[in-house]
Structure 1
Amino acid sequence: MSPAEAKTQIENLSAELKQHSYNYYVLAMPTITDFEFDKKLEALGALEKQFPELLDPDSPTQRVGGFITKEFKTVRHRWPMLSLGNTYNEQELLDFDQRIRKAIGDNFEYVCELKFDGLSMSLTYEGGKLTRAVTRGDGVQGDEVTTNVRTIHSIPKQLKHGDYPAEFEIRGEVFMHLKAFERLNEERVENGEPPYANPRNFASGTIKLQDSGEVAKRPLDCFLYFLYTEKPIFKTHWESLQAVKSWGFNVNEHSRLCSDIEGVLAFIAEWDKKRFGLSYDIDGIVIKVNSYGQQEELGFTAKSPRWAISYKFKAEQVQTELLAVTYQVGRTGAVTPVANLKPVLLAGTTVKRATLHNANEMLRLDLHEGDWVFVEKGGEIIPKIINVNLEKRVAGAPTIDYITECPACGTHLKRQEGEAAFYCPNDEGCPPQITGKMQHFIGRKAMNIDGLGDETIETLYQKGFIRHISDLYKLYEHANELKQMGRFGEKSINNMLDGIEKSKQMPFEKVLFGLGIRYIGETVAKKLTHHFKTIDNLMAATLDELIVAEEIGERIAHSLIEYFGSEKHREEIEKLKAAGLQFISGQKEVVLQSEALSGKTFIISGTFERSRDELKDIIEQNGGKILSSISTKLNYLVAGDNMGPSKLEKAQKLNIPIISDVELMEMIG
């Protein structure tokens, strides 16, 4: 075969395989079998091996990943990834238009784009080659996820042609098509794994997987929509969109250039109806001033551009029949009611369940058997019931009252004064509480036990190997029995036992948090271990002694007294002591190195190249104090990647200076 013939075959096979991938993942309508697809992929690989000079970096054979990323590097954005201001009605858009006119006059255009419900991504290209992909993070810095992004078929790894600059950044949105989301979620359920709530969460979770080979198995897509260059090469945003499309980037076809706000409103009205026919989720429309010169003139606020805004569609409501109310028991014993619904399509996905939150919400809704209810997503991860269609209520239909006994163990439910939730007090005998506590104990934020997962905990509990947390540290006695079960291989058993053994070195604060005591989160566990030093001191503490500790109120104190007042809990702690777990704080006294931060207070939020504990030590060693919540008493918020948006918003509202870890080090000198 000549190189010319091989080139033709490679191009044809590549195009055919890409179309089959689209049919399978996006349309969920495969036209060939998996075996046939694999054979074609194999044939393409053989040709590329025979003619290596014809290998295209974007070939279907190259999108398989396989690299392991231990941790994602935090990268500072060259151009900040700011958020857009939101509007929900026509009047607010007209007000936005008036502000633009007052600033730059009447001679301008808008570009309207669909607002994709995905994960924001910044891509850097050098010499036409993809060199870096970084998540939005907190807008200032994000996680580098280049290896994972290289597996996305619609993102070119090497541009083929075009008059593009030597280096540039292009921003876009990584997302998952609805059909692919439904198919993969069904597979997760079949495998006993919890389903993702929506395509955005699935896409976000996928892009942060450590194994790029696993990322490659999940069909992500990406639309690109904004170009950044050192020197301007285009005069308008619309011009740049057409250019990057010609360079080979996946630009959404539904953008529109509008000469006035009336055209914008018409575009919004059109897509408010048409959005449900798309293969992906959108939650609004983005409106941008077209001219880059006018964008520069309009400038920015502290967190968003003045030349752009997003119009958010109102949450869609649907009506469906309430089939039954069931109840879920959490690890702390809280019992949550869930409405089981006649399946209905809502915002592009099929809804079968909706949260009812608690007994007070059920009382508000006044649910009756056979009711027809209005369901809304409205930004909620889990759909919720808004109200009942009383016109459809059957006369004499019995009311649905909140249960009085635990659905898992039959124990009478209790509700503490001032709380909305009822809970099951039988924490030592209620199966979902027992497994839930152990799943919490092994989790990443607690004991971080490698080789153990939620599903394994369920299996070990069902087989009778574990009933308490302390039983995990006796599993080595059952190694031979586990091997006979078939579910566990020798390697997985050894990994699990090694992980359990290593967990004995986890510090006291992690053990205390891992016990799953009500109201004892990560921060509270640290405060308690720092103040009381040992578990024996903590168990012996009176109410007055507990509330003296920093940030420990009466609710937390009563919870601790109740927990340690149980003989079974004390016995469990003695067993964990005997197993070798850490119940003495290893925290060292702070050795002051300078007074550079004396009198100043800080909160550290997000992830950094240094650990947060290291930053905390640096602040305290230089005279600063760490606070746990944002208030007027706070002097500085040290912001890293993945910082919570609510914390950032509150700090901005109170005009609290937001600094990076680099700026913190500069303050210390």
Structure 2
Amino acid sequence: MTDSTSPAPSHKNNSVGTQNSQSDDTVIAQMCTLIDAIKTHNYAYYVLDNPKLEDSEYDQLRLSLIELEEAYPDLIQPDSPTNQVGDIPLSAFTQVVHDIPMLSLGNVFEYDDLREFMRRVNDRLSDAQQNPEYEMELKLDGLAVSLKYERGQLVQAVTRGDGRVGEDITQNTKTIRNLPLYLTDAKDLSLLEVRGEVLMPKAGFERLNRLAEENGEKVFANPRNAAAGSLRQLDPAVAASRPLAFYAYSVNQGLPETIDTQSVALAWLKDIGFSVSAVEVVDSPRAAQAYYESIIETRDELPFEIDGTVIKVNSLGLQQQLGFLSREPRWATAYKFPAETVMTRLNTIEWQVGRTGQLTPVGKLEPVKVGGVTVSNVTLHNFGEIQRLDVRAGDMVSVHRAGDVIPKVTRVWTDQRPEDSEPVTLPTNCPVCDSPVVLPDDEALARCTGGLFCPAQQQEALIHFVSRRAMDIDGLGERWLISFFEHGLVKTVADIYELHNHRDDLITYEKLGEKSVQNIIDAIEASKKTTLPRFIYALGIRGVGEGTAQNFAQQFGDLDSLMNADMEALIETPDVGTITAELTYEFFRAQHNIEVIDKLIKAGVHWDNVEQVAAGDLPLDGQTWVITGALDSMARDEAKAKLQALGAKVVGSVSAKTTALLAGDKAGSKLTKAEKLGVKVVSEDEFLGLVKS
């Protein structure tokens, strides 16, 4: 994982003691590779302010080295970075030796790790001191800085550096707007040393990058880089122009003797003029977990980036008693958020065939936890994406997942690629039906030409048809559909409405009793009453999503008019381009599709025709809406359909271009953002009045 462009010094393979066995040599080689990578990335992160890795990926490197060193303590290399903090300071600034070293924090990532940390604390305390209080605060993602005040006057600001020696950035730090240069309430203290984090709030970071883009300048990768880069400008005027903020998190020298806890110390810092992060005092692992989870839920609403929480023994006396390891305190740790980007090995690449014949490559991963869930598969989207990433079976890859976002490969570590790896080639034939695979010129999407002859496409068409946003046949899930398909009970979507004739066969299926079969039959019967947009979408016409189906229904009013429409009429539909129009035209000219539609209608599938209204006459034409929270009167999908019927475009995120936000119960960050941007917020009652008018 080393970056050849970095000036970090190369590690030499020096062992401790005499190593004769091949296994020892292998372990040492692994240690050396990890040490080189960690040193390179330390230099990029701490010195150049240009990290090449996500924090979670860096944590993985360190953890891998620590695990090796714990398993083979006799083979620990003399220059291992596991006992070091940060990296060498920049030579452009005066170097300052810290009176008290600025150490890093250890990390925990799960509840069990948190409980283990607290157990270790208890092991070092007497019976009377067991289960102490803990103070929790936000883990700010910025640049650690130590400030010295003499008689209330700021006299020095120093970066962490390597933990022992940092850089004097006093003049740049004085430009930070929320940093007090003089502390009236500390004027009697000969020396006060306050430590904290310099960061760049999200809004300021976005403005800075936007301005840089407009001026054709380099943009920053993240707010942490922007803050560090701003403080390391040789011209203080540059730092003064940047939107920086300082948040204090500890007092290392000069704290009044009457203060004996971390929480009171932070309250005192706030009283004398410093900004501090949110603070919570807890007395058990469960209480700590509850605070941690509450912060995860609200982190997007914070004005600055955080990557976890910090938990500290609250008693300053117990902190002193517990002491330190070589690079971190025993009385504190960082409880990091679930990693959103992690490294793992991509073992193989398989090809799946969708309902429209598209071949999608799927990477089979060495299972890894990312974003709070264990991931073993990741989509590679299409053959063009494989070529862009140059990803191959056997590669080490970075996998990213945030919130409910589908995991994706964001980086391939070619320096760790197996020597025998081969580039991925596109299959010439469908892996399911053996029909030829085509990849049109200038396209990235390969397709099976088998059509409904291909079992994979038949199955996917069935699954799509019964899905919630299509015909919404509750209880008839993918598992049963595939089983019915394999046993010949259903071949096309029309066969679903004949399943009531196979009641006796269905009851014989394992885990499908008489009640479950009746529930399925009832759900199929209930689905016969639908809407024209849902039916059009359920047909699975390539390129026709929910929005296009809604537009077709609004444009033509009934199915016959849509089926008989020529290309010119189809293209006149709002938001329908030539390709979608061609695909729709061809779909309704295929005899087997017409036969299936006829069978569905004869089986009783029906809907009300849609009143045609010219696009410009729709009350919400040209407006963009967002829906958030839970609605009492209808599902959000139904609300979306009603908005689209009125001409609105419904999207998933709030921006300055949003016309209105429909806010139901328990609306969260979208509501907060809408209020900040001045976007109109519509209640459910107001919305119901709108759709009824």
Q: TM-score, normalised by structure 2?
A: 0.49
Structure 1 CA distance for aligned equivalents of residues 583 and 618 of structure 2 = 39
- The reply to whether residue 536 of structure 1 matches residue 560 of structure 2 is yes
Deviation at 1:90, TM superposition (A): 3.2
Cα pair distance change 1:567/1:350, threshold 3 Å: same
Residue in 2 aligned with 1:255?
311
Does structure 1 residue 282 correspond to structure 2 residue 360? Answer: no
Q: Which residue of 1 aligns with 2:122?
A: none
1:527 alignment partner in structure 2: 551
Within 2, Cα distance between the matches of 1:352 and 1:642?
35
* Residue aligning to 1:442: 466
Tell me the alpha carbon deviations over residues 171-209 of structure 1, each in whole angstroms, 9 at most, x when there is no partner.
xxxxxxxxxxxxxxxxxxxxxxxxxxxxxxxxxxxxxxx
Deviations 1:208-255 (A, max 9, x none): xxxxxxxxxxxxxxxxxxxxxxxxxxxx99997338979988556953
AA partner of residue 445 (structure 1):
R
Note the C-alpha offset of 1:460. 0.8
Alpha carbons 1:602, 1:625 under 8 Å: kept: no
Q: Residue by residue, what CA displacement relative to the aligned partner does 1:335-379 show, whole Å, maximum 9, x if unpaired?
A: 11123345567688765444322212222343556x432333353
Q: Distance in 2 between matches of 1:494 and 1:586?
A: 30
Alignment of 1:310-389 (within 5 A): 316-318=341-343, 320=345, 322-342=346-366, 352-367=376-391, 371-377=394-400, 379=402, 381-384=406-409, 386-389=411-414
CA shift, 1:420, in A, is 2.5
What code does the residue aligned with 1:338 have?
A: V
Q: Is the 8 A contact 2:383 2:426 kept in 1?
A: yes
Deviation string, structure 1 residues 308-327 (Cα, Å, up to 9, x no partner): xxxxx7x554353x432211
Change (3 A) 1:602 1:490: same
Say whether the 8 Å CA contact 1:476–1:497 is kept in structure 2.
Answer: yes
**What per-residue deviation string (whole Å, max 9, x for no partner) do you get for residues 435-454 of structure 1?**
22212211221111133111
Q: Which residue of 1 aligns with 2:662?
A: 639
- Aligned position for 1:489: 513
> 1:460 is paired with a residue of what secondary structure?
helix
What letter corresponds to residue 242 of structure 1 in structure 2?
V
1:406 is the counterpart of 2:430: yes
1:204-219 aligned at under 5 Å gives the runs: none
Rg comparison, structure with higher value:
2
In structure 2, what is the equivalent of residue 90 of structure 1? 143
Per-residue Cα deviation, 1:100-154 (whole angstroms, up to 9, x for no partner): 3279989899999xxxxxxxxxxxxxxxxxxxxxxxxxxxxxxxxxxxxxxxxxx
One-letter amino acid of the structure 1 residue matched with residue 407 of structure 2: I
Find the partner of 1:605 among 627, 635, 655: 627
Letter in 1 for 2:143: E
Deviation at 1:520, TM superposition (A): 1.6
Q: Name the amino acid aligned to 1:255.
A: I
* Per-residue deviation, 1:410: 1.3
Q: Are residues 585 and 665 of structure 1, via their aligned partners in 2, closer, same or farther at CA, if it must alter by over 3 Å?
A: closer
Q: How far apart are residue 541 of structure 1 and its match?
A: 0.9
Query: 1:502/1:600 Cα in 2 relative to 1: closer, same or farther (>3 Å)?
Result: closer
Match for 1:241 among 280, 288, 300? 280
Name which structure has the greater RCO, CA cutoff 8 Å, separation 6+: 1
Distance 1:102 1:463, change over 3 A: farther
Q: State how far apart, in whole Å, the 1-side matches of 2:578 and 2:673 are.
A: 26
2:36 is matched with: none
Looking at structure 2, the residues matched to 531 and 596 of structure 1 have their Cα atoms a distance apart, in angstroms, of 12
Alpha-carbon distance between aligned partners in 1 of 2:529 and 2:639, rounded to the nearest angstrom: 22
> Which residue matches 2:450?
426
Q: Write out per-residue CA displacement over residues 284-343 of structure 1, whole angstroms, 9 at most, x where no aligned residue.
A: xxxxxxxxxxxxxxxxxxxxxxxxxxxxx7x554353x4322112223322111233455
What is the distance in 2 between the residues matched to 1:517 and 1:400?
30
Q: 1:482 to 1:255 in 2, by over 3 A?
A: same
Q: Which sections of structure 2, spanning at least 5 residues, go unmatched?
A: 1-109, 114-137, 146-158, 160-171, 187-193, 198-274, 293-308, 315-323
Which residue does 2:610 correspond to in 1? Answer: 587
Distance 1:653 1:520, change over 3 A: farther
Deviates further, 324-333 or 92-101: 92-101
Q: 1:257 to 1:649 in 2, by over 3 A?
A: same
Give 1:87 deviation, angstroms. Answer: 8.0
Could you say if the C-alpha distance between residues 100 and 585 of structure 1 is closer, same or farther in structure 2, counting changes exceeding 3 Å?
farther
Partner Cα separation in structure 2 for residue 392 and residue 419 of structure 1? 28
Question: Following the alignment from structure 1 to structure 2, what is the Cα–Cα distance between the partners of residues 566 and 390?
Answer: 51
| Cα 1:618–1:468 shift into 2, 3 Å | closer
The residue number in structure 1 matching 2:131 is: none
Counterpart CA distance in 1 for 2:550 and 2:362 is: 34
Match of 2:535 in 1: 511
Match of 1:570 among 594, 604, 607: 594
Structure 1: distance between partners of 2:611 and 2:139: 47
Name the CA distance, whole Å, in 2 between partners of 1:351 and 1:632: 31
Task: Write the distance in 2 (CA, Å) between the matches of 1:398 and 1:613.
Answer: 45
Contact 2:463 2:477 in 1 (8 A): yes
- Structure 2 distance, partners of 1:432, 1:513, is 19
More off after superposition, 423-432 vs 91-100: 91-100
Count of residue pairs the alignment pairs up: 417
Q: Which residue of 2 aligns with 1:101?
A: 179
Q: Is the 8 A contact 1:372 1:389 kept in 2?
A: yes
State the one-letter code of the partner of 1:282: F
Change (3 A) 1:620 1:449: closer
> Paired residue for 1:299?
none
Cα offset for 1:656? 4.4
SS at match of 2:526: helix
1:456-475 correspondence to structure 2 within 5 Å: 456-475=480-499
Whether the 8 Å CA contact 1:111–1:238 is kept in 2: the answer is no
Contact 2:532 2:610 in 1 (8 A): no
Q: Does 1:626 align with 2:665?
A: no
Aligned AA (2:549): A
**In structure 2, distance between residues paired with 1:96 and 1:417:** 59
Secondary structure of residue in 2 paired with 1:457? helix
Residues 552-591 of structure 1: CA deviation (Å, up to 9, x unaligned): 2223212211222221111111111111112x54335789
Alpha-carbon separation, structure 2, partners of 1:366 and 1:247: 45
CA deviations on 1:636-659 (whole Å, 9 max, x unpaired) are 313224999998899789864444
Q: Which runs of 5+ in 1 are unaligned?
A: 1-24, 29-84, 113-235, 259-265, 284-312
Write the distance in 1 (CA, Å) between the matches of 2:583 and 2:676. 34
SS at match of 2:585: helix
2: CA distance, partners of 1:433 / 1:598? 37
Relative to the length of structure 1, the TM-score reads 0.50
Counterpart residue type for residue 454 of structure 2: C
CA distance 1:490–1:96, shift in 2 (3 Å): farther
- Asked whether the equivalents of residues 627 and 634 of structure 1 are also in contact (C-alpha less than 8 Å), the reply is no
Following TM superposition, by how much is the alpha carbon of 1:467 offset from its aligned partner in structure 2, in angstroms? 0.7
Identical residues among aligned pairs (%)? 24
Confirm or deny: 8 A CA contact 1:603 1:634 kept in the other structure.
no
> What is the CA–CA distance in structure 2 between the aligned matches of 1:631 and 1:316, rounded to whole Å?
25
Distance 1:616 1:336 in 2: 29
Cα RMSD, aligned residues only? 5.4
- Closer, same or farther: CA 107–509 of 1 in aligned 2, 3 Å: farther
Q: Kindly provide the amino acid, as one letter, of the partner of residue 414 in structure 2.
A: N
1:454 aligns with: 478
User: For residues 580-623 of structure 1, what are the alpha-carbon distances to aligned partners after superposition, in whole Å with 9 as ceiling and x for unaligned?
Assistant: 112x54335789xxx997999462523533446997899899xx
